[in-house]
Structure 1
Amino acid sequence: MQLPRRAAPAGRVPFHGGTLHHLIERGWFWIIPFDNHKDSRNPMCSVGLTFDERLYPQPKDKTPDEEFNHYLDMYPAVKRQFDGARRVREWISTPDRIQYSSRQTVGDRWCLMSHAAGFVDPLYSRGLSNTFEVVDALCYRVLDALRDDDFSAKRFEYVEQLEQGLLKYNDMIVDSSYIAFSHFRLWNAVFRVWACFTTPATMRQIQARQEFTLDGDDRHFREMENSPYPGLWWPDSHAFKHLLDVTHETCVRYENGEIDGDKAADIVFQAINDCESVNTPFGWKDGEDHRFYRATTPTMIKFMWWASTNGPKEMRDLGRAMLKGVAKSAVRGKKVS
């Protein structure tokens, strides 16, 4: 779809400069611009809508184009963004659930990978990440199996654990989010649970790559598999696993009517504040009115200092290992020059 250009709102970063989510009760619209960079050549954007079909039964006798406009009419604030827009291809609609999973993903001489193994609503755009993780775990095992002529399922048990974990944990945060969409305070808390652990999860991978770059030993990547929670964003963290469990359990209780939305929000916010591994420099533990975060250089410096000095052991280990890798890389760079 091609949307009309609009003047950027005040502020350093336009709110529509990246993937834009319009959240509705138990559903969301996405608008993904392909022209959000100065070197972009594509004026198009990706547009879509997913929702809980129990709340939004498919309208009868409507084309996909009419169906999309039907939902726009339900949400005038979203519809305004499409003033002057035109589609460049036919709409596609499905009456079926897009979520599915396989009880078994690995067997003797076969493996279902990523989206073949299962799929969860793409709210957090986990598709590419999940695929890369599974490919990484599978490839060297296939090479080893070729050398040994042994493709038994036992050799690929970790791949099975990883794929099931990726589906399980992604489903937990997506389910919690869908439930929370109807209550802003609860959604504010649930979003922080997802966001606050994306940074250590990334650091973990960067640190392994740093070590590999220095010595060329791929054991640094293989050792990443020695974690208690395969498929979790930060699979080494007991604290994060506990926080996610509390969040999902609380949202389900809210959905079932056992507690109201404010009580559920209070529980999740308290769990965030009680979790030592939730970093403070990014503001995840600040008041509920703290609604914006920018990864500025000063903020990242404060975070690395906290992670290396004041954070709990699992954060200190990760922060210090990463800084050590940076220092080694810098020394190596000087020697090469």
Structure 2
Amino acid sequence: MVHYIIVITLLALGLSPHCLSSKTVGGGYLYPQFYDHSCPKAQEIVRNVVAKAVAKEPRMAASLLRLHFHDCFVKGCDASILLDSSGSIISEKRSNPNRNSARGFEVIDEIKAVMEKECPHTVSCADIMALAARDSTVLTGGPSWEVPLGRRDARGASLSGSNNNIPAPNNTFQTILTKFKLQGLGIVDLVALSGSHTIGNARCTSFRQRLYNQSGNGQPDNTLDQSYASQLRRNCPRSGGDQNLFFLDFVSPIKFDNSYFKNLLANKGLLNSDQVLFTKNGESRELVKTYAYNQELFFLQFAKSMIKMGNISPLTGSRGEIRQNCRKINA
């Protein structure tokens, strides 16, 4: 239903729904029908395994969405994040943004195993991640979109790219925006994609400085609602409890909606990187307000920004490979 709303809204805006479905990038062509003949059940397989995983553990939806994001910001959407360390490869799983926090690898493995039985050597791990991110969004109540397909898998990883390119929770607004712009994404994409924090969790270690020492002066962050802050301090002490988990959106933590933006208006964004969208830049502040008051507009932009993000430097044609096991390059 939401997909039709998106198409109708695009037409009303004078945009072609085609801009949702395909894009020429770096000489490669991604389009939603890529596997229609070579593996007609590909999308159904991903949807079924993701649905089972999310039913078992609702948090998995956010984890799979985040995996796609953390992959695309490093060398493009090429499944490099899935590679384990071996030979000359140092895994991106070891990087600061991913260590002890990137998850969902077993779900991707399960999808890949079913896929290899159904149509061997055909569907890339990179495409599986893009589809899993879309399905995770839909399963939790968010918008749907047609996922352009045809990515291939990288034969290497970049630990330094993972450490440097992915925005950190304590980065300044300008640093985060710069990291987005380096990937060809703008301020609208930044605010819309941040809205994915309407589901999922963050660890105490990701926001502790806001509670105790925001600017190195031993004072808490004054842009954080004080009653919310004292609530957070109960399970996020000054030291210890690093891995304690907190909902990114305490209002509706497993429902994909626009309450994340409403929380920002009330100074109840959990991460510094969330709250700065409202406090540090006029344009992003207006976008936060817009999405807080209009969920349909947020959903529309989120879908468009996810397609745009999924188009970051994919390997196509004969570049890369179709991995048989997402964790290692083919022999």
Identify which of structures 1 and 2 has the higher relative contact order when contacts are C-alpha pairs closer than 8 Å and 6+ apart. 2
TM-score w.r.t. structure 1 length? 0.28
Q: Which has the higher strand share?
A: 1
Please identify the structure whose Cα radius of gyration is greater.
1
